[in-house]
Amino acid sequence: MFKHTSNILQTPIEYLKGMGPQRGELLRKHLSIFTFGDLLQFYPYRYVDRSSIQQIRQIQQDGQFVQLIGRIVFFDIVGQGRARRLTATFKDASGQIELVWFQGISWAEKLIAEGGNFLVFGKVSLFNGSWNISHPELEKLEKEKNETNLGLMPMYSSNEKLKTRGITPKLISKMIQGLLPQVKPTDLPDFLPENICTKYHLCDRFNAMQQIHFPVNQNAMQQALYRLKFEELFMHQIGICKLKLNHQKSRGFYFEKVGDYFNQFYKNHLPFELTDDQKNVIREIRLDTQSGHQMNRLLQGDVGSGKTIVALLCMLLAIDNGFQACLMAPTEILAQQHLVGIQELLQEMPVRVGFLSGSVKGKDRKIILQQLEAGEIQILIGTHALIESTVVFKNIGLSIIDEQHRFGVAQRAQLWKKNVLPPHVLVMTATPIPRTLAMTSYGDLEISVIKQLPPGRKPISTIHRTEMHRARVMDFIKTEIQQGRQAYIVYPLIEESEKLDYENLYSGYEQVKQFFPDHTYKIAMVHGKQPIEEREQNMQAFIKGKAHIMVATTVIEVGVNVPNASVMLIESAERFGLSQLHQLRGRVGRGADKSYCILLTTLKLSVSGRERMRTMVEETSGFAIAEKDLELRGPGDIEGTRQSGAADLKLADIIKDLPIMEQSRQAAIDILLIDPELTKPDHALLRYQLLQRPDQEIWRHIS
């Protein structure tokens, strides 16, 4: 039965004229369109400018996008099984081109069989000496209309399944066209405050919704697009900024003094002079922990910039004030390295350090937990086992998370339950945070940066070589070893198959042994599945210079420090992501000698693989690499963005629309400054809208 609702936009989609229950079901299932309102927010993904049509004869470049008008003069279905395809010869006044479909064949065939003029849009490629377009967009042009004078035509995405069931992009367009006149301005009230709309020159919402679907011209479309992107990003940002505001207001422990632990260590045991950046960060943290509020700070510093010592000094500060502190790492190996490193630094100091991870079991675990609860352990180092609810501290005041990119936002929040007040939180990452992520995934944190590397670091030459050069690469490593240096050889982790992973490593190890025979060279192998003692023994052999080569999986990605190593050879480098490659490269260049990072790949690389290698060879700054990484992978792939909701945006792109995001963030901050709870009449609509959204939990806690 038709249910009357006050707002037409809440009407279930099947009640739209021409829709019906079956199509309604398809839209719900495939496009998540449940209501009229959802359909309105199903925005065109591009516009066809009817005034710009190319001639087939003018096609010049592989990969070029073209829009053509013409007829299909011949088509046929050829091949079997996976090679089965529909090919069609498309002709305009200037020439002809081949169109190919491997999927959606029956849909395309039906359309082509109707005959007449078609509009074709797609990417051309050169195949066997002639141009072709695979899976072009194909649209039948209607005779009666003057096709050359239609201006911008919206294009909606659909998929093959929907197309075969009759839900073509064209039908979607018709549906929206039918819906729009029924929508009144009061159905689309503008929830952005008027002063914001004025300040940022935003057209009103009702107007924008009309123009985004059927723009009168390019300018109107741009304005609508800007307004709707702004709105989307604004709603996202106001939630993040509110979270940050809440953090800033939440009460936190007061670290009033710098005491003996800190001072003793600083004066007597600090192995080197801190860099100015390190000193600044400690100063910032000192201010945070004296403010009476809970600290939530992100410390970003490139690989090797010296974050560990900063973490240690902050933990000593916590102890000085009668609190416990913990340091959490994403893997067992890293956690153990931290333990070893910190125990070494603290060997002359009366600080009790404990360790906890999944591998600490039974009686040992029980003892640790008891000592922790009794307050006998002052610094606890470990993995995410630390956040389990069975781990109870006597009085935790500071939690440090190393390598944040592997910890989720939710895990971070777990830490807050560990004491009567939430402990101060310091998140450390070697992956520089591009500006866009600083405003999304990390938008609720204060940010500190260590820009300088400790003195004495040498530049690293990065070289890309293929399999063909393997022997020469090995010879090069030999000459480095003859000069007293050491080398890492790293194999990729194949995530789908742990077994394959080690086969890879072991066969690599055998291959390396052929180049570096036992009687002259010592090779240490290290990986995550080794018994801890064996791994530690091999690691120590390399650290002490007894082994010439370390053959390893990515366990050495973070944390290992051997200044004498001058070569990092990365096998199958194309299998690694940019940030991982950068981390690995950071293992060399730590001593007095010139260092090399060699990326060994197969000859044939994907476009993105080639781009990653090129980036590594050309860029040394972790920041530039992180930006490039984001660009190549897209935000959806980056951990943390998904939880932050940034990947759900319909129109805006958190990378390309960075300037709009910055403006919308400023707008959100401006509003929250004068009305943090959004209780003013001007903000009632906005508040109402926010409360409707599942991702805006935060507003529901306010009275």
Between 277 and 657, CB nearer to ligand ADP: 277
Of 297-305, 413-421, 637-645, 684-692, which segment contacts ligand ADP by CB under 6 A?
A: 297-305
Binding ligand ADP (rule: CB under 6 A), the pick from 168, 237, 300, 308 is 308
Q: Say whether residue 275 binds ligand ADP (CB under 6 A).
A: yes
Between 50 and 587, CB nearer to ligand ADP: 587
Which of 196, 351, 377 is CA-nearest to residue 262? Answer: 351
Between 122 and 622, CB nearer to ligand ADP: 622
- Cβ contacts of 49 within 8 Å, gap of 6 or more: 67, 151, 152, 218
Binding ligand ADP (rule: CB under 6 A), the pick from 213, 307, 612, 665 is 307
DSSP string, 466-504: EGGGHHHHHHHHHHHHHTT-EEEEE----TT-HHHHHHH
Of 13-21, 49-57, 267-275, 613-621, which segment contacts ligand ADP by CB under 6 A?
A: 267-275
Of 187-195, 302-310, 375-383, 518-526, which segment contacts ligand ADP by CB under 6 A?
A: 302-310
In angstroms, give the least distance from the CB of 456 to ligand ADP: 7
In angstroms, give the least distance from the CB of 279 to ligand ADP: 9
Q: Say whether residue 37 binds ligand ADP (CB under 6 A).
A: no
Task: Name the H helices within 544-635.
Answer: 578-585, 607-618, 622-633
Of 34-42, 305-313, 520-528, 684-692, which segment contacts ligand ADP by CB under 6 A?
A: 305-313
DSSP string, 366-382: HHHHHHHHHT--SEEEE
* Residue given tokens 């060279």 in the structure block: 521
Residue 239, SS3 per DSSP: helix
Q: Say whether residue 272 binds ligand ADP (CB under 6 A).
A: yes
Q: Say whether residue 430 binds ligand ADP (CB under 6 A).
A: yes
In angstroms, give the least distance from the CB of 522 to ligand ADP: 23
Angle between helices 498-515 and 470-482 (to 10 degrees): 60
Binding ligand ADP (rule: CB under 6 A), the pick from 274, 353, 449, 605 is 274
- Residue 416, phi-psi category: left (phi > 0), alpha (psi -120 to 50), beta (remainder): alpha
Which of 248, 266, 256 is CA-nearest to residue 323? Answer: 256
Give the containing element (helix H, strand E) for 565: strand 565-570
Q: Say whether residue 454 binds ligand ADP (CB under 6 A).
A: yes
Please give the structure tokens belonging to residue 535: 């791994």
Between 45 and 272, CB nearer to ligand ADP: 272
In angstroms, give the least distance from the CB of 340 to ligand ADP: 12
Q: Say whether residue 305 binds ligand ADP (CB under 6 A).
A: yes
- Tell me the residue number closest to ligand ADP, measured at CB: 306
Contact yes or no for 678/698 (Cβ under 8 A) = no
Contacts (CB under 6 A) with ligand ADP, residues 276-295:
278
Three-state SS for 68-114 is EEEEEEEEEEECCHHHCEEEEEEECCCCEEEEEECCCHHHHHHHHHC
Please give the structure tokens belonging to residue 631: 């660009």
Between 309 and 549, CB nearer to ligand ADP: 309
Contact yes or no for 149/179 (Cβ under 8 A) = no
Binding ligand ADP (rule: CB under 6 A), the pick from 240, 309, 329, 646 is 309
Calpha distance 130→56 (Å, rounded): 12
Please give the structure tokens belonging to residue 354: 């404990």
Contacts (CB under 6 A) with ligand ADP, residues 560-599:
561
Three-state SS for 615-652 is HHHHCCCHHHHHHHHHHHHCHHHCCCHHHHCHHHCCCC
Ramachandran angles phi, psi of 224, nearest 5°: -65, -45
Between 426 and 660, CB nearer to ligand ADP: 426
Between 56 and 555, CB nearer to ligand ADP: 555
- Cβ contacts of 685 within 8 Å, gap of 6 or more: 189, 190, 191
Contact yes or no for 583/561 (Cβ under 8 A) = no
The residue count for binding ligand ADP (CB under 6 A) is 15
Between 188 and 325, CB nearer to ligand ADP: 325
Between 278 and 294, CB nearer to ligand ADP: 278
- Cβ contacts of 497 within 8 Å, gap of 6 or more: none
In angstroms, give the least distance from the CB of 330 to ligand ADP: 13
In angstroms, give the least distance from the CB of 565 to ligand ADP: 12
Contacts (CB under 6 A) with ligand ADP, residues 464-523:
none
Contact yes or no for 505/524 (Cβ under 8 A) = no
Of 2-10, 96-104, 217-225, 298-306, which segment contacts ligand ADP by CB under 6 A?
A: 298-306
Between 44 and 586, CB nearer to ligand ADP: 586
Of 296-304, 371-379, 571-579, 604-612, which segment contacts ligand ADP by CB under 6 A?
A: 296-304
Of 256-264, 271-279, 404-412, 667-675, which segment contacts ligand ADP by CB under 6 A?
A: 271-279
Instruction: Round to the nearest angstrom and report the end-to-end CA distance of the chain.
Output: 37
- Cβ contacts of 213 within 8 Å, gap of 6 or more: 40, 43, 44, 154, 176, 177, 180
Of 75-83, 300-308, 472-480, 538-546, which segment contacts ligand ADP by CB under 6 A?
A: 300-308
Of 270-278, 323-331, 388-396, 539-547, which segment contacts ligand ADP by CB under 6 A?
A: 270-278
Q: Kindly list the residues in this chain that would bind ligand ADP in the complex (CB under 6 A).
A: 272, 274-275, 278, 301, 303-309, 430, 454, 561
